[in-house]
Structure formats: structure tokens, C-alpha cells
Structure 1
């Protein structure tokens, strides 16, 4: 289905280790392994969902891709250029093609700026437009995301959470970027508003030929919008497959656990799924377990899981998994 699409983004061996050393002179070197060696790609026009618990490294991955933070190691090849090798000036020009939609619409917008200026900011930074051209662009963008342009001189606090997120989306698409990283864009919104924002993102993707990386906690949200889904756990991708493959045949025990956590209305089916629920908490990323990062919570774990890191490999076409038991099959 996606074979003919060229790769817009390719991530190779990406790592981000934060120094959290302790002691007066910080002699005891400690690192938080937020992202610990991941590989994936995103094709033009598709949506790659990234899902996992808090602390799995999803948002850090998104921040690394848009270069809000520098990687410890690895390559981020976007549109044929390795972003990690660019100077600040070169990266500033490239950022017009690479945008981010933030999680919290309440804190991501400057409360002292009017909507017009919030949406106009990226246009003023990257383009030279006359006052009339700028005004027309803002009107067009507001209409595109479902906001009435007559409210362009209002402040963010005068809008609801869903409307604020629409303002954030208008900012993100203002420069017609090639890739947008959506960092949990609906998690802070009411359930009734979430579907509206998701449908808006799908609509804009079709109209503007956008490519998304969509980060979320739960599988139901990424299922609605994604073409392929990457499952992250403790800084690593443990499974990556098309949406259809993942929901029809999840291979990693962690993915099975996430599936079991999806609410279902039938009490009889709900009881049968309880056996697959994941127990315990995600380990401390400062001191991750040896071997497979999931073995401390996996009911299928054997000795090799405790000692050796499983290889992330393709088991079926476009279906990758990192699990010793699956790799033996």
C-alpha cells in the first residue's frame, strides 16, 4: 500500500541520554536513557503513530525530530538532509518544512498575543509579506481550521480548549510544512472534542498533502489516524507495523497488554482480556533492566530475556518486532 511512496524522514540509531549525575561535584555519573537507539522511517503523505506509556520516550523522540533538543547519537535524515549536521542558520531555514503541534493548547500559546499575531508569527519569520497579504493568509488559515476570522483580534483565554488547539494547528500549517509532529494533540481535550480535532487533522492531511508523526498514550487514538504504528517501551521501539497488522496480529507482549487495556463494553469479553493486562510500573529509565527492557513485566519471559537484548527485526512484510520468543518462531 505504501511501497511506492518515497521516504520523507529516516531515523537511524537515535539516542538521547540526559545527564542526571548526583553528588556535590557530580562525580557519580548517571544518565536517563530517554531514547536508546531507535530506527524508523516515515513515507510522504502517511501518518506514523507512536504509542506507549508515560516515560517510554515518545515525546522526546518528537522533540529530537524537530530539533528542539540535540540527540546524543544517531541520524535524523529529513528530506535527504541529516538535520544533526546542519548549522543553526541552515536548520532555521529547514524548520519551515518541519512543524510541531503541542500537547497542551492552554500553555503552548502566548496569552499576551492576539490570535492574528500567534498565527502570523511563523509567516513573519520565514516570509516577506505585505500587510494585506498577511491578513489574507490569516483569514484563509483560520477558515481552514474551522475558526471564524472575525475573532482574530481576540486573546487565547477567550477561546475553548478545542478552539485553542485549532489555533495551534493553524500556526503549524501556516508555512505548508512537509512534516508535522503531533505531540499528543488531543490528550488535554474533552472526549467530545477529541474526535473533531482528529477529523480536522485527517481533512488537512488530504487537502494539503501533509505527513504526520502522531504521538499518543493509547492505541484507539492512533488507530483512528495512523497508517503505521510504532510501539515504544523504555526508550526503544518494540514493535512497528501497519495499523491493520498490529491490531489483527500483535506480536510483542507489551503490544498485547496495550490492546487488553482498550475499554470494551461487553463484560464477558472484558473479563477474558484481564488476563493479558500488564502488571507493575515501567522501570526507572536511569537504571533500565538488562536484556529485554520489558522482561520485568512480561509473563512469557525466560532466561535469555533477562540477559540479552532482542534484535529488532522484520518478521513479516513491514512488521518489525523485538522479542526473543517471536524471533525463535
Structure 2
């Protein structure tokens, strides 16, 4: 039996690293493509890649998604069965400072990935979207069948653009595509710009933490290992265009394309202040709280309806946020020797 080959973009990143590790453990052959940009600590990215490279079934190419020639050459050489596109310019707040980086990486880069997938006629293209596409929607929990046209940041807008681009490719070329929307992912080997990482770092060093909207915020915190398990299972849930154009009302499957959008979240709305208290318990220190007004482009709450994921895969994330935080704090202390 031949080894299934998966090309993952963003394997030096937080989620890509965990996903590659899971797929390698399950016997897949994985090739990573990552720009290793300096948006955050490059040392952390290289440590992640270094760990993956210890497995002989993993190989990697360093390059930017916008480099069409380089990405095409790699895709042609590797000949993947599946492409999982995670690489992106991430971060809601940074999109206020450098919006062009989001257009370059998230729109042009994603176009290059879709073109390669179309040309190679791969079995399944899976691409990362975000809960941020729900924008100003107020009906919760967020369901994939809801209209989502009120994005509040350029980051969210580029991800919604990716969903629209993907639908057109699925329709025009019969390319099976699944878009998954993440909900506030956290966990070991995380990104230093994410709230949990910043809060733990500040608490251990006795610095204040910025708490937006005076803490009146709710998030559907999703542990990274749960998230990548959901992605792994969706690899096998290949969307098929319905012959009669009829789609069950609970499904986000397109009536005119092999295309689907799936939420991956914990289906649990957690108050930010409760999250912070759990961090204090795990760290063993109280936070110095700097209460701030709501940040531009942010939303007061996110909450996933993950029933479609469960219907398709039989799985739903369920790691309790206190347990996930404790694991992260343990990793952080070991990694930084504090």
C-alpha cells in the first residue's frame, strides 16, 4: 500500500506543526512549505521544523506562497494526494498596521495554492478560514449555514475572499474543497502574539496584561490538538456535489460544487475573565490587570456550532480550557526554563 502524501503549507507555524506531527504519527508522508517570516520569533518556528525533520517521512521547502514558480515546482515534484493550506498572514491586530501583507499572503498566496491543486487534480484541498468571517453576526452559536457578509477587519475579509475563490474553483473544475473555520486556537508551541502566550509571559515576569472591553468578552477556546484531529478527520470527508442540487438544511455543502465550510470549535462560550483566572491558577500568580476599551475590529463574542463536524466525522473538540491552559503553562515553563 502506497503512503498517502500530504502537502501542508505553514508547517513551521503553530497549527501546521501540530497537524504535521499528527499525520506523521498516522503514517502519512508529509511535505511542508513555509516562509518562516519574522512576524514572530523565527527561533520558535525553526525549533518546530527541526522536530518534524527528525521524522524521515517529513521534508520541507522554505519559500513564500507568493512565489508561484517555487511553489509550483515543489508541488510538481512532491505530487501530493491532498493539500492542506494553513499558511497565512495571521493576526487581527496586525492587519490594522500592515494590511498589504494580508492581500499578498492570503489572497495571492491562496490563489497560487488553488492553481497548483487544480493543475495536479488532487483528491482533496482543505484550507483554513477563521471564525472572524462571521464578523458582526450576532446570532449564536455561529453556524456554517449563516450568511457571513459583515467582516470587520482586512484579515477576516481576506479569509472570506478565500472561501469565495475556493467555491468558484470547486464549481469550475470539480475540485473537492473543504474550508474550515477555526475558533480561538491555543495550546503548546503556540504563537507569541496570541492572548494566552502573552498573558502567561506577562504574569511570570510581573508585567500587566491588557484586557480589552474591560474583560466583557467571550471566546470559544479550542485546544490545538483537538483542532488538528478535526482537520485530520475532514481529510477523509471529501465533499461531493449533490446530483439533484438538494442539500440538507443542516449542511453547508454547495448545491453546485464539491465544496463545504466546516466550523472547528469547542462549542463552549467562555468568558475572558474566567480564562484569565484559570491562567492565574496554573501560573500560581495573580495578573496585574490593565482594563482597556474594545479594540478596533474586534468582536465581543465567538461561539461555534460544531454539529456539522460531528455529523461528518463523529468527532467534536472537548478539551476543557483549564486543562488546556495547564498543559500550555507546563510547556512554557520547560521551553523557557522558568
- Higher strand content, 1 or 2: 1
Higher-Rg member (1/2): 1
Q: Same fold (TM over 0.5)?
A: no
- Give the structure-1-normalised TM-score: 0.28
With normalisation by structure 2, the TM-score equals 0.28
Higher relative contact order (CA 8 A, sep 6+): 1
Bigger helix fraction: 2
